[in-house]
Chain A
């Protein structure tokens, strides 16, 4: 039933999208690993300026989908286009000028400092002979300032807390000056204060964002549109109001819940039920 619902929604969406060229479009994407379908026939597109959330239980294929989009893995079948051009036909460096990625976990070796890490955001925009100019140094300073890490810019990246690391990586993304920002579970392992801070920071950049989330309520409040993956398939695609309903939550996440509008911006807010209790009248 959910699948049928989802396909209806995506038809509705795709008729809307024919007006202008989408910034990113994924068409009939398949990815197989060890002969298993990790991603099955995924199609969607993202318009400039949208803030899109990617949801799904563990192992649904969220990270794999994002990895296909930022070219870490090559899909088995299907097309990913950026501004109408296949991403595999754009040079890797050109693509990095358009798209910045904040990974879920970033290891750091040999004691790089915070400003070392942020300066790496300059890489896609510089040629090999290029010396870092004063303007670029200023850009790095500004980005560190923006994520309020100025006091720790000389510290080792490795010794930061999870939230601070995420902020530093967002600063790196800011330096990269991309048109599209991809974040793979930017809020996991963070205190709620920093979860909100990170997302508001990403939103304040005013660029297109595609981010995966564990916390459905957070996604519901902040995202313009939600994509829901389940077992490698895209099962819903629409505004939080369209997507989040009890049936889908039960089907995809295996939880019973009650949904009420959030007092602040009327986005659907989920309350989960625990143990064996059923959901009464619905």
Chain B
């Protein structure tokens, strides 16, 4: 690919990651990862627990700095202009750390303020995301008094404030009951038509149901890149990939 063509493809990509390395002491959590993600798509980072998915997402959001490599989101270099990058990212961290003592609306009002929204604009924005994710019922309740399913929606609501182009969702259905999982998946699928969604999961059927593309992460490396739209049976395809991986593990040991 010529450099011109490379630049063009980078412009059409919502996320471009190049040669990313992140070490914690002697442990290499992310080991030379490169990929790009197309606009308005749902892409999943799939891998066993401890594969490096969360670290990868944390570097992409700017929460952690990489040891080397580069990250561009919506055309903005996360390292060079972190503030502008964060403006374009909505992030639902793993375990969804919310202030439990705060009522849902107070928290969302705060999140709107942090994104520079004031007065009527903030109220409208909060109202929109509350409608969008279905929080009207628990609107005045302290977050701590809400069910896990509602809390996850609060986490999603704050990520949607300020209409970021990108949504990074780390294990969005983790810890939810089956009904809540179904509802959350429906929401994520809908959001995928308006935003570029990058989510992480270790659940094969979930990735098969939600994502158009799966990036298989193992030991900090990207070991497979699977188009799920073209695949006849997405889940079976992913299962095949996973089993191959396990077989290699066993063979290697």
| A and B associate in one complex | no
